[in-house]
Amino acid sequence: MASLNEPIRTPLTLDVSALPSVAFGHRNTTWLANVFYMAIEGMMFALMFATYFYLRTRSTEWPPGHLPPALRYGAANAAIFLVSIIPAWLVRKRAPEGDRRAVRNGLLFLALFALAATLLRAFEFTTLNCRWTDDAYSSTVWVLIGIHSGHLLTELIETIVLLLISFTPKMEGTRLADAAINSDYWYFVVITGLMVDVLIYGTTRFL
Amino acid sequence: MTAALSLVASHVLAQAKVLDPGRHHVLHPAAPQAGHIEWLYWFIFWILFAVFVLMIAAFAGAGAKARVVASGPLPIVEKDEEADHRAGWAVGSAMAITVATLFVVLVLSVVTGKRVEGLTSKNPVTIQVTGHQWWWEVSYPNSQADQTVTTANEIHVPVGSPIVILTNSKDVIHSFWAPNVTGKRDLLPGYSSAFWFEIDQPGIYHGQCAEFCGLQHAHMGFSIIAESVDEFQAWQQQQLKNAAEPSTSEAIRGREVFLTHACLMCHTIRGTDAGSRFGPDLTHVASRNMIASETLPNTAGALAGWIVDPQRIKPGTQMSPNPLSPDDLQAVVAYLQALH
Amino acid sequence: MAVAESIVANDQDTGQSELALRLARTWRQPGGFWGWFCNTHHTDIGIRFMVTAFIFFLLGGMLAAMIRLQLIRPENSLMGPDLYNQVFTMHGSTMIFLFAVPLMFQGFGVYVVPLMCGARNIAFPRLNAFCYYLYVGGALVLWGGFLTNTGPDVGWFAYVPLSGPSYSPGHRADIWSQMITFTEVSALGVAICIATTILRYRAPGMTLNRMPILLWEKLVISMAVIFAMPAVMIASGLLLLDRLVGTHFFNPAEGGDVLLYQHLFWFFGHPEVYIIFLPGAAIISTLVECFSRRRIFGYTPIVVSVVATGFLGFSVWVHHMFATGLPQLSESFFTAASLMIVIPTGTQFFCWVATIWYGRLQLRLPMLWCFGFFFVFLIGGLSGVMLASVPVDLQVHDTYFVVAHFHYVLIGGALFPMFAGIYFWFPKMAGRMPSETLGKWHFWLFFIGFNITFFTLHFLGLRGMTRRIYTYSPDMHWQGLNVLASSGVVFMTAGLLVFLANVFHSMRVGAIAGNNPWGDAGLEWSMSSPPPPYNFLHVPTVSGRDPLWEDPPDQAIVVGLRDDIRETLVTHSLDAEPQHKDEDPGPSIWPFLTALSVSAAFVGSIFTAWAVPIGAVPVIATLIGWLWPRGESPTPLPTGESWLR
């Protein structure tokens, strides 16, 4: 604490006026929030995966009296997920360069892929070979894929909104950073989607 | 410090049996299992009591040593390497003592756990306890179906023999607990588990459901009746018999009422047409001390009150009211009271 | 940009008050009725969290008094089992989900963290405001249900299958599940705001090594919330699905499992205990330092302890399930893990003693509550050691011994520090000092009443009195102890009335506090009380752990933040070097509207699953309204060159 006997000294200053007002990547605060958000959602997926395997230990047969879900739509969707990484990567790369046209095109393709994945997902539900009311196995399959569909839908809407913004002059600075963060989130949707696929299509067949 | 003393005093008082006419107490063991746990409890208690005294002394000492009375904020204590060094030693030693103490507690706890849970006999009395909302189904399984005793809420066991309890639940989670005997065990639907105990002293030990199980969780008691091997075997032989034929005309009419009213929808009386397993087996209901899961004494009045309006005594119980005429009621009670 | 390089002498002393006026205009929050719903400043939202949570504390306390009244004699007819089961469920749920976490983590955190960081507002202030409204929504759902006789009646942890569709028809358990969703989304959102504020909004120079212990604890708690709360959302979500659309997660007849629920619930439930206790410990560390007039002894061990507690909290959940009959190996493991928690907690205690011992103790009102905490929490912690031992736990589990234990831990670990904290920061919030005399009356009444009630419960537990029974037989001889326990309620109630009187009295006529009435070291004491809407006239820099004690008088201040838009400074997560500037989004009605639409969807889903797809439409619409960029910055954002990539 300043003693009264000391001469009063003028504080020094730290001038921050030259600092940028837009940050991309890990320095962006929204990026950090998105990481926390993915941690929360990732934790939910992890616990659902754990639930799936826990319930498996309580059953002698797995899937109990059902055929494993048919591969058709699930495999097609996995392929879409993998290809969709390209526009997401493009947006993420070009946004910091201020390349609004590339970002817009990337968002357009990403939105189309997300739309295709969502539509295919609707068909995927018809080929699960079970209903959620059948037994605990069926409930887990439906809820796993249902939770992921929720994320898919959220991401679809977010991408469409960003796409709409990208047609306005507001697609500047912070919004470009948001578009790049949106790509991070798409990666998360893709990774969890593939993990859900491995669980419900893969482990029922091969494990 | 006064609080610390009162803590000791009250624990000492809790030990004095004179204050505990019910003898229903974790620290009044009637079985070696509860005995081991009691020993562990007191061991940990005295360790922790010493810790408590030391910590309170430390805080009081620090407060007394450092206290300064002043109205405004005092100046900040200058950095003192010497003091930090001494504090470091003190904190470090305290942590070392803490770790050592915890280690002792851990080892004793695990050893006691083994002593409580390890089964030492090859020839135990096996009892299946199944939880229901809100009563206990008790059976003594036997490979021959007609040698299986089924009863409710009162568990007869021989003194000095190892008892294995197999658990299960028909509906929600219940927990089997008789404090004088041993620790509790949950009865989980979809799981069956086993634990054992052995009772030293003959007597009646009260127990109750310890896991909240709905409206009548409070009225889900049971009792363990520990008796000599001879008495136990005699009881078992009696329980194996079919229901006694009613001898008085009133009791005969009571059986008629029982079999023509809602009673037989839920209850079994072996030797009659009543064979439903939804409620307690009443074949030898008169041999029990209490009814309604240790809620009422097994007297004619209580029985009548229970039959007519169980919802008044245990609101929410699965048994529905039976608006019988006074004559019918009296007859049923007479019949049930004859089922020794 | 290094701090040292860019520090130059400040030669503009004049114009400070003009700057204050300009900042006040820029950072002003709207007034009036609608303005109230648009407010996004953290001090306002933080106080709202605290006041709302405290109201629910009083309501939860009234339920507790009802419980004590019912148990005052055997076979009491005051309440039937139906009402009693609702009352104890409401008591537990209210205290945990509507009081302890919202007040200790959200309320205190939102209020004090940005001030301690030297930030002008919390990160994501709109999300923060949204979380407040959502919390209120959850609270109203729970209490609305109770007041219309659909209060949950399955206990605050709602074990299946009792809470499942077969044994709990009606909507009581659904209301409990959705209240969880509301409050946990709220806590998760606030955790994101607080963690981001701590990692990015710290004043230049406040490296991790100089971060106040309170901020360390808030960071650890935020992480614990982020990793623990999803578990309870999954547990209550699956329960709701079982009840609403007929899934079979917890139905043993169809391959479901009842223990799965317990694992999921306690994987959240035990870290939750530390989510409630660590904010208390944070307050204690802050106050011990201030009132010992000495920098805290053992900064590093305390920080390590806090982080260790956060980790260990995740490894002990099974000790709530000892009675389910587990293999010996897992019993031993979870006993060891539970005992290990004592080590970091003990370390903090020892460091507090050392700080006091080598300090100049001023036993002011907040410090008196700290001593109350030491006593009460110590007893709770020691009985916790007993419970970590499986054999002892199997005897006292689900009895009043455990009830006594967790009230010692939770009231000791949260309520005593809370009152300490309220008295400590009251001058900052209200600008006036609390009355020490009334505060001491409050303390002694509450302390004595608390110990009478809850110490007695240990003996009831040992005598075999189980939890959650609405009545007992006179043959059990429990009446005397129950009367004693209930009598403590009178003292506690009197204490709380004195507290309320103190707050209302001191708010009007308390002595004017000034910036720093306690002479504390934290940055939150450097501005006027209550803080202006922009918090800091100049964003400060710091050069030590105790800025107001150590920093030289010419400690640099930050200049160059614009005063015509709400500009905030973003610094590096680890070393707090200035990195770039963010724009605070400012007040908005959209968080409130979004919270309304989300609440509508949640409430609707208590009755039909269709509420989810239908309710999603307004939720999406309001979210787009919230996030859609609008308005032009006074000057366009710089393009390209100056972006931080």
Structure confidence at residue B99 as a pLDDT band (50, 70, 90): very high
pLDDT of residue C4: 41
Comparing C640 with A148, which gets the higher pLDDT? A148
What digits encode the pLDDT tens for the residues C142-153?
Answer: 999 999 999 999
Distance CA C441, CA C365 (A): 10
ipTM of the complex in this document: 0.94
Residues in B closer than 8 angstroms to A4, CB to CB, are none
Poorest-confidence range of A86-90, B121-125, B163-167?
Answer: B121-125
Residues in B closer than 8 angstroms to A58, CB to CB, are 190
**CB neighbours of residue C637 within 10 Å:** 17
Describe the crossing of helices C213-244 and C172-200 by its angle, rounded to 10 degrees: 150
Structure confidence at residue C325 as a pLDDT band (50, 70, 90): confident
Residues in B closer than 8 angstroms to C358, CB to CB, are 66, 77, 80, 83-84, 86-87
Against chain B, the chains showing at least 3 CB pairs within 8 Å are A, C
Q: Which of C252, C259, C475 has the CB atom closest to B22's CB atom? A: C475
Is the pLDDT at B4 greater than 60? The verdict is no
Q: Is A146 on the interface with C (CB under 8 A)?
A: no
pLDDT of residue B54: 96
pLDDT of residue B228: 95
Structure confidence at residue B19 as a pLDDT band (50, 70, 90): very low
Q: Is C260 on the interface with B (CB under 8 A)?
A: no
SS3 content of chain A, % helix, strand, coil (to 5): 75, 0, 25
B134 upstream amide cis, omega within 30 of 0 = yes
Against chain A, the chains showing at least 3 CB pairs within 8 Å are B, C
Task: Tell me the count of A-B CB pairs closer than 8 A.
Answer: 3
pLDDT of residue B1: 42
Rounded mean pLDDT of C370-379? Answer: 97
DSSP structural state of residue B222: E
Distance CA C545, CA C47 (A): 26
- What residue type is C108 in one-letter code? F
pLDDT of residue C329: 80
Q: Tokens 């006036």 sit at which residue?
A: C432
Residues in B closer than 8 angstroms to C256, CB to CB, are 190
Tokens of C296: 């805290």
pLDDT of residue C121: 96
- Full DSSP string of C270-303: HHHHHHHHHHHHHHHHHHHHHHHTSPPTTHHHHH
Distance CA C451, CA C455 (A): 5
Structure confidence at residue C16 as a pLDDT band (50, 70, 90): confident
pLDDT of residue C642: 64
What digits encode the pLDDT tens for the residues C558-577?
Answer: 999 999 999 999 999 999 99
Question: Which contiguous run of DSSP H or E holds residue C120?
Answer: none
Is the pLDDT at B12 greater than 80? The verdict is no
Minimal CA–CA distance to C93: which of C142, C166, C44?
Answer: C142
Q: Is C359 on the interface with B (CB under 8 A)?
A: yes
Structure confidence at residue C105 as a pLDDT band (50, 70, 90): very high
Tokens of B216: 């009548």
pLDDT of residue C410: 96
Residues in C closer than 8 angstroms to A24, CB to CB, are 643-645
What digits encode the pLDDT tens for the residues B47-75?
Answer: 999 999 999 999 999 999 999 988 888 89
pLDDT of residue C11: 43
Rg of the Cα atoms in chain C: 25
**CB neighbours of residue B103 within 10 Å:** 12
pLDDT of residue B15: 41
C498 to chain B, closest Cα gap in Å: 23
pLDDT of residue C15: 64
Three-state SS for C306? Answer: helix
**Strands, E assignment, chain B:** 125-132, 135-140, 149-152, 154-158, 163-169, 174-178, 182-187, 193-197, 203-209, 221-227, 290-291, 296-297
Is the pLDDT at C3 greater than 50? The verdict is no
Q: How many residues does chain C have?
A: 645
- In terms of CA atoms, which chain A residue is nearest residue C567? A21
Does the distance separating the beta carbons of A17 and C226 come in below 8 Å? no
Residues in B closer than 8 angstroms to A1, CB to CB, are 75-76
φ, ψ for residue C7, nearest 5 deg: -85, 125
φ, ψ for residue C128, nearest 5 deg: -60, -45
What digits encode the pLDDT tens for the residues C253-268?
Answer: 999 999 999 999 999 9
φ, ψ for residue B156, nearest 5 deg: -85, 130
Does the distance separating the beta carbons of B173 and C162 come in below 8 Å? yes
- In terms of CA atoms, which chain A residue is nearest residue B78? A1
| pTM check: above 0.80 | yes
Structure confidence at residue A8 as a pLDDT band (50, 70, 90): low
Cα angle B294, B300, B304 (rounded to 5 degrees) comes to 85
Q: How far is CA C51 from the centre of its chain?
A: 13
Q: Is A3 on the interface with C (CB under 8 A)?
A: no
Distance CA A152, CA A145 (A): 10
Is the pLDDT at C25 greater than 80? The verdict is yes
pLDDT of residue C552: 86
Is the pLDDT at C10 greater than 50? The verdict is no
- Tally of CA atoms within 13 A in the half-sphere of C152 that contains its CB: 29
B32 upstream amide cis, omega within 30 of 0 = no
Residues in A closer than 8 angstroms to C574, CB to CB, are none
Rounded mean pLDDT of B159-181? Answer: 95
pLDDT of residue C541: 95
Q: Is A16 on the interface with B (CB under 8 A)?
A: no
Q: Tokens 């009334």 sit at which residue?
A: C438
**Residues 46-75 (A) with a CB less than 8 A from some CB of B:** 58
Tokens of C259: 């223990």
Tokens of A120: 């295919």
pLDDT of residue B55: 96
Against chain C, the chains showing at least 3 CB pairs within 8 Å are A, B
Rounded mean pLDDT of C21-38? Answer: 93
Structure confidence at residue C413 as a pLDDT band (50, 70, 90): very high
Distance CA C135, CA C98 (A): 8
Does the distance separating the beta carbons of A23 and C579 come in below 8 Å? yes
Q: Is C170 on the interface with B (CB under 8 A)?
A: no
Is the pLDDT at A62 greater than 60? The verdict is yes
Question: Hey, what's the torsion of the CAs at B151, B156, B157, B163, to 10 degrees?
Answer: 30
In chain B, the domains with their CATH numbers are: 2-70+81-117 (no CATH), 125-240 (2.60.40.420), 249-337 (2.60.40.420)
Is the pLDDT at B18 greater than 90? The verdict is no
- In terms of CA atoms, which chain C residue is nearest residue B185? C323
A63 upstream amide cis, omega within 30 of 0 = yes
Burial (CB count within 10 angstroms: exposed 0-12, middle 13-18, buried 19+), residue C290: buried
Check: CB of residue C110 under 8 Å from CB of residue C192: no
In chain A, the domains with their CATH numbers are: 32-57+69-206 (1.20.120.80)
Is the pLDDT at C284 greater than 80? The verdict is yes
- Full DSSP string of C197-222: HHHHSPPTT--GGGS-HHHHHHHHHH
Tokens of B311: 């919802």
Q: Helix H segments across C95-171?
A: 108-117, 125-147
Percentage of chain B beyond pLDDT 70 is 93
B164 to chain A, closest Cα gap in Å: 25
Q: Helix H segments across C397-552?
A: 400-410, 416-430, 436-462, 479-509, 547-550
- Both ends of chain B: CA-CA distance in Å? 58
Q: Which of A10, A14, A170 has the CB atom closest to C3's CB atom? A: A14
Q: Which of C78, C79, C153, C353 to mutate to test the interface with B (most CBs of B within 10 A)?
A: C353
**CB neighbours of residue B144 within 10 Å:** 6
Q: How far is CA C438 from the centre of its chain?
A: 26
Percentage of chain B beyond pLDDT 90 is 83
What digits encode the pLDDT tens for the residues C166-212?
Answer: 999 999 999 999 999 999 999 999 999 999 999 999 999 999 999 99
Is the pLDDT at C589 greater than 50? The verdict is yes
Q: Tokens 């710091």 sit at which residue?
A: C542
Does the distance separating the beta carbons of B172 and C162 come in below 8 Å? yes
pLDDT of residue C637: 54
What digits encode the pLDDT tens for the residues B251-291?
Answer: 999 999 999 999 999 999 999 999 999 999 999 999 999 99
Distance CA C107, CA C417 (A): 14
- Full DSSP string of C565-592: TTEEEEE-TTT--EEEEEE-----SHHH
Minimal CA–CA distance to C135: which of C73, C86, C66, C191?
Answer: C191
pLDDT of residue A174: 86
Distance CA A113, CA A117 (A): 6
Rg of the Cα atoms in chain A: 23
Minimal CA–CA distance to C345: which of C318, C385, C391, C291?
Answer: C385
Minimal CA–CA distance to C258: which of C160, C180, C356?
Answer: C160
- In terms of CA atoms, which chain A residue is nearest residue B77? A1
- Full DSSP string of A179-207: HHHHHHHHHHHHHHHHHHHIIIIIIHHH-
Rounded mean pLDDT of A67-95? Answer: 94
Distance CA C109, CA C370 (A): 19
Q: Is A2 on the interface with B (CB under 8 A)?
A: no
Is the pLDDT at C9 greater than 50? The verdict is no
Rounded mean pLDDT of C330-349? Answer: 94
B176 to chain C, closest Cα gap in Å: 9
pLDDT of residue B294: 92
Percentage of chain C beyond pLDDT 90 is 89
Rg of the Cα atoms in chain B: 28
Q: Is A59 on the interface with C (CB under 8 A)?
A: yes
Rounded mean pLDDT of B187-211? Answer: 93
Describe the crossing of helices C400-410 and C258-292 by its angle, rounded to 10 degrees: 40
Is the pLDDT at B173 greater than 70? The verdict is yes
Does the distance separating the beta carbons of C637 and A23 come in below 8 Å? no
pLDDT of residue B22: 52
What mean pLDDT is reported for chain C?
93
Minimal CA–CA distance to C423: which of C466, C474, C368, C472?
Answer: C368
Q: Is A99 on the interface with C (CB under 8 A)?
A: no
- Tally of CA atoms within 13 A in the half-sphere of A70 that contains its CB: 10
DSSP structural state of residue A69: P
Residues in B closer than 8 angstroms to C362, CB to CB, are 67-70, 73-74
Q: Which of C292, C325, C389 has the CB atom closest to B66's CB atom? A: C292
> CB within 8 A of B184, min separation 6: which ones?
B175, B176, B177, B210, C323, C394, C395, C397, C398
Q: Is B77 on the interface with A (CB under 8 A)?
A: no
